[in-house]
A and B are shown apart, each in its own frame.
Chain A
């Protein structure tokens, strides 16, 4: 008996070690980046990046906060886009997901297919690009960042499963009481599926905040760059930044400081809503 317990203890230690190493593997790139932002430029030039800065420096953040209005403007653009993106995309998703959860809705099959087909088949990047630029004239229009990203089909189908999980009898009795569908949706279905709605909302926020491709395709005016696009084109900026001022951080420190600043909001969102994320990701995948 004793021997077995010892064996179990050893395997428990091994288990915790393996998982701890895995956790480390997941955060090390981020930790390294943070270390680089606090590293002195000369020591990077000499010895490369280190997990713990050889010589500490906060120059990167000082320069970013004092000299670099560009990044705060990009922050504003990203906030704007994420805010309106969340509002519009969430509303549109809720509106279409609910009818698809009503089993005997006459157009359910048709609408379902209409949404689903876009997941399978697309006209291709080039025609999407030409159509949006030439026919809609949306190049360098800030709303292109919002409008083109409204409605992700997989979000629709995920939210539909949340709506379907509400017992039908609740909807039916409201209907028999003469409630309209909009009232049922916003007074009954939405409050009852609130965790699901939050999950979808978080997916949407993440999608808008991290969207780089729309900016790469449609925005080339610097004042309209969202954060991700600014990061993509950072090398054009670094030169302006480092021109003619005294002691300077390494370009790399600046770049990684920008990465950190662009990432922090999503990590904060994640920390506060972790529960909803896990639930959203695992729901639908779990067999009841």
Chain B
């Protein structure tokens, strides 16, 4: 079809000009709120003083040096990557299992019910989710009361120490998103040609055999792509999960601080004189490694399945 317009290069030029005008509002917005602030990356390399702003003294990589020497860096980066890694694996296993189970449901109404209900958490903000979870975890909480009874600790609250928080954060994260991910997998399972299963039935294949020899192999490309994309985002955390579900409580955050919460707190809550440059340095580090990982995983995705790559 494109060929037809090639003969009309004048028309194509006019069309392209019109199409370009359509892009302008989006590009202006991104230019102002995404590209212009990139100038601020420079703050990571200066000894920031609010009076001087961008003309503060240039100190090279010193800020990064401080960040790493303070010992914060390795802990925070480790927590960020570690928790994300856990979420990827648990999320994959749970979502896949759920999708496989949903696929076996014969009753359309029941399936619709389960799907609808499992989508509800997706519509709540992390802020609200944080409060909802506190109804299980704070000193009046249902689970805390049980722990109080077992251990005899009066008014036990999960927010006063970092025990169990790896589990709590994982559960909260799964609770919020696994329903949606499962439905995405289910949509792919449904699209598998039924003939494979009919042939397998004739051969007397059991359910598990069909899962392992038909369904899962069919899903492998998608699983690889999703997982790689997630790995590309492994240095970025869900700010809401780590800030609101933990209620930003000191004892928990001492262990579960991630880059995003760290940067936010330096920006908004810190009165330290070097908060700006430290925040800038941590943010830049995250951005650069994040980009490298996205590009890297995209290159791998491209090798596996060209159509699924981002670019």
Contact = CB atoms under 8 A, between A and B. Distances in A.
B131 A278 contact: no
B124 A263 contact: yes
Given A19-B105, A26-B121, A287-B191, A252 B140 contact: yes
A282 B125 contact: no
A243 interface: no
Interface in A230-286: 231-232, 252, 255-256, 259, 262-263, 266-267, 269-271, 274, 277-278, 281-282, 285-286
Interface stretch (B65-73, B81-89, B194-202, B277-285): B277-285
A131 interface: yes
Contact of A287 (B110, B113, B222): B222
Contact of A231 (B105, B127, B280): B127
Most buried by B among A32, A92, A148, A150: A92
Given A29-B136, A124-B279, A217 B187 contact: no
B141 to A, nearest CB: 6
Nearest to A232: B127
Interface in A14-72: 15-16, 18-20, 22-23, 25-27, 29-30, 32-33, 36, 44-45, 47-51
* Closest A-B pairs by Cβ, 3 of them: A127-B40, A124-B283, A210-B125
B212 interface: no
Most buried by B among A22, A148, A172: A22
B242 interface: no
B117 to A, nearest CB: 4
Interface residues of A, number: 105
Interface of B: 1-2, 4-5, 11-12, 15-16, 18-20, 22-23, 25-27, 29-30, 32-41, 43-44, 53, 98, 101-102, 104-106, 110, 113-121, 123-129, 131-133, 135-136, 139-142, 144-145, 175, 179-180, 183-184, 187-188, 191, 207, 221-222, 239-240, 263-264, 266-268, 276, 279-280, 283-284, 286-288, 290-291, 294-295, 307, 310-311
A177 B124 CA distance: 48
7 contacts: A23-B114, A32-B142, A48-B139, A123-B283, A126-B283, A259-B131, A277-B119
Nearest to B225: A285
Contacts of A135: 36
Nearest to A50: B142
A209 B283 CA distance: 26
A285 B290 contact: no
Interface in A107-137: 107, 111-116, 118, 120-132, 134-136
Interface of A: 11-12, 15-16, 18-20, 22-23, 25-27, 29-30, 32-33, 36, 44-45, 47-51, 91-93, 95-96, 98-99, 102-107, 111-116, 118, 120-132, 134-136, 147-148, 150-151, 156, 168-169, 172, 175-176, 180-182, 185, 206, 209-213, 216-217, 228, 231-232, 252, 255-256, 259, 262-263, 266-267, 269-271, 274, 277-278, 281-282, 285-288
A90 B115 CA distance: 27
Given A151-B26, A206-B123, A169 B38 contact: no
Given A263-B123, A282-B184, A231 B5 contact: no
Contacts of B26: 92-93, 95-96, 115, 151, 156
B280 A126 contact: yes
Contacts of B16: 105-107
B40 A23 contact: no
A121 B120 contact: no
A169 B1 CA distance: 7
Contacts of A136: 32
B119 A270 contact: yes
Contact of A26 (B20, B33, B118, B136): B118
Nearest to A217: B268
Contacts of A12: 106
A127 B280 contact: yes
Given A18-B101, A99-B19, A124-B284, A278 B128 contact: no
Contact of A114 (B1, B27, B131, B239): B27
B141 A48 contact: yes
Given A126-B266, A182-B18, A228-B127, A111 B27 contact: yes
A123 to B, nearest CB: 4
B131 A104 contact: no
Contacts of B110: 16, 19
Contact of A15 (B2, B105, B132, B286): B105
Most buried by B among A103, A135, A282: A282
Contacts of B307: 287
A18 B99 CA distance: 12
Nearest to A88: B25
B175 A25 contact: yes
A116 B35 CA distance: 12
Contacts of B38: 121-123, 127
